[in-house]
Amino acid sequence: MRKNEGRTIGLYTKVSPEEKEVIDQKMALLDTSNLRGYLRKMAVDGYIVHLDMECVKELVRLFRSISSNVNQITRRCNETRNLYAQDVEDLRQGYDRVWHEVYALIRKFEDL
């Protein structure tokens, strides 16, 4: 144990092979391999929340794409004073994808 860690009391316990398998499965769900940290967190707090941020990453990607499209359309409108129907349709589809991802994210939060 590290001196500066502040943890000086050792706790030791034994588990059955079946219990160890369950612990390993739960750790795999959290994508962690630190058994000590996992057991300490579970003993102190009783639960660990693991957030899947893939939906948020997808939202950010979609927002960047839409922002880029809006900037290109704005530039073209300022230069030519024309707005094309295809540009508007592309933006509408982008917004539809964003809202689809937002609703998926909300559903995930509701399941927590």
Confidence of residue 3 (pLDDT cuts 50, 70, 90): low
Split at pLDDT 50, 70, 90, the class of 2 is low
End-to-end CA distance of the chain: 36
Burial class (CB in 10 A: 0-12, 13-18, 19+), 101: buried
Tens of pLDDT, residues 17-34: 999 999 999 899 888 899
State residue 110's pLDDT score. Answer: 73
Whether residue 53 has pLDDT greater than 80: no
Q: Does residue 52 have a pLDDT over 80?
A: no
Task: Tell me the percentage of the chain whose pLDDT exceeds 70.
Answer: 94
d(CA 105, CA 58): 10
What pLDDT does residue 23 have?
93
Two tokens at 108? 């995930």
pTM of the predicted model over 0.85: no
Taking the CB of residue 4, how many other CB atoms lie within 10 A of it? Answer: 4
Is the pLDDT at 112 greater than 80, yes or no?
no
| Average of per-residue pLDDT values in the chain | 83
Classified as helix, coil or strand, 50 is coil
